[in-house]
Structure 1
Amino acid sequence: MSGARMAGWLFADLLLVMVVVTLGGETTTKGAGAHIRPELTAGPTSTPTLTPTVSAPAPGTPAGGLDPHTRSISVRTDPGDLVGGSDAAAASIRRQVAQKAAQFQGERAAFVIVFGNAGRLPGGAVDTRSSTEYAEAVARLLPSAKPDFFPPYDEKIIRSYHNTDPRVPSGTAEIELFFLLH
């Protein structure tokens, strides 16, 4: 098969995968949480018929899924101090997180991503190893900073990454918050 024909098939396969993922990922709040329950009813011929009935979810039941509109907060401290185990740096992060998360009164974070920036290497590139370690140190403090807001620490729910944005100053941790849909 020629390269052009292979590329065409590859494109078609990728397009099919994108369609399946898009359709599979769509959610709706109309009827979300509804339950279909079959009921046995007598029809006009007195022959029992299986009829599905749909019951609505209880009021206040979340529709499910993560809200695609995220919120974020930023905190700052000396990355080396925090990663090195400084109690003062940890207390500073906890205090900043508790203060800034207070704006989300009544909410609870369902998923969190922490992006850390711990400085630059000679030549100007972001120190990705130190920045990821800094983000991890901040992430581990979140549940103790505001236990009623953050889920318990788990690497699958509170994730840590480095931030390579050159405009973000060293010592900044940006905390991206995801909430459940209501």
Structure 2
Amino acid sequence: MSGPRSVLLNPRVLAGWLFADLLAAFVLIVMGSHITAPDPLAAAASPSASASASLPASPSASPSAAPSPSGPPGGLESEPIAIELPNTASVETIRQAIVASGKAQLLQGRRAGMVLTFGKGGLATGNAEAHQVNAKLPAVYPDLFGGNTVFRDFITTRDVTNIEIFLIAR
């Protein structure tokens, strides 16, 4: 059988075509992986003249609104501020616990992006405790916990409720 059909099914011919197809797929993958995105921090440092002429200046713009070197603007700081709340009966007792922790100075003039609350009481009441604390926090410090702050309820087996506050990066 040396007809045209036997030439097309020859293992050497099939291996050649398989190699060519795999090489073409590899080239496409490599070319697609070398796409680079523009650096947003470099673009913010040197705005073009046409962009600055067409956009009005924001009245709330301030020097402290510059992006932080630790990440893009609007991101969260990587280390939370952890505060224990031995008494969560009222807004005032929560405020007093934050002041007593000595961390109120770190929170002054800042915005919380996310708050993780670990409610005492274990499986039985911990989640409800955390939910109640999260409901009170915007009244404790409206400038810190107001707006788009994300609150999450968790439980702890410890005998004290604690919060972890992730601040928005400067």
TMscore range, shorter length = 0.5 to 0.7
Q: TM-score normalized by structure 2?
A: 0.53
**In structure 2, distance between residues paired with 1:58 and 1:151:** 21
State the AA in 2 paired with 1:131: G
CA deviation digits over 1:148-170, x for unaligned, max 9?
Answer: 22224x7x711111124xxx2x2
Aligned to 1:114: 117
Aligned to 1:31: 42
Aligned to 1:44: none
Aligned to 1:61: 65
| Counterpart contact for 1:66–1:179, Cα < 8 Å | yes
Instruction: In structure 2, list runs of 5 or more residues that go unmatched.
Output: 1-32, 51-60, 68-72
**Are residues 1:93 and 2:94 paired?**
yes
| Counterpart contact for 1:117–1:162, Cα < 8 Å | yes
What secondary structure is seen at the aligned counterpart in 1 of 2:82?
strand
Whose helix fraction is larger, Structure 1's or Structure 2's?
2
Larger-gyration structure (1/2): 2
**In structure 2, distance between residues paired with 1:71 and 1:32:** 32
Instruction: In structure 1, list runs of 5 or more residues that go unmatched.
Output: 1-19, 40-56, 83-88, 119-125
Q: How many residues align?
A: 116
Aligned to 1:5: none
**In structure 1, distance between residues paired with 2:62 and 2:141:** 29
What secondary structure is seen at the aligned counterpart in 1 of 2:98?
helix
Supply the RMSD in Å over aligned alpha carbons. Answer: 3.4
Q: TM-score normalized by structure 1?
A: 0.50
Whose strand fraction is larger, Structure 1's or Structure 2's?
1
What secondary structure is seen at the aligned counterpart in 2 of 1:161?
strand
Q: How does 1:22-171 map to 2 (within 5 A)?
A: 30-31=41-42, 33-34=44-45, 37=48, 59-63=63-67, 64=73, 65-77=75-87, 89-90=89-90, 91-100=92-101, 101-104=103-106, 105-118=108-121, 126-127=122-123, 129-152=124-147, 157-164=150-157, 168=158, 170=159
State the AA in 2 paired with 1:95: Q
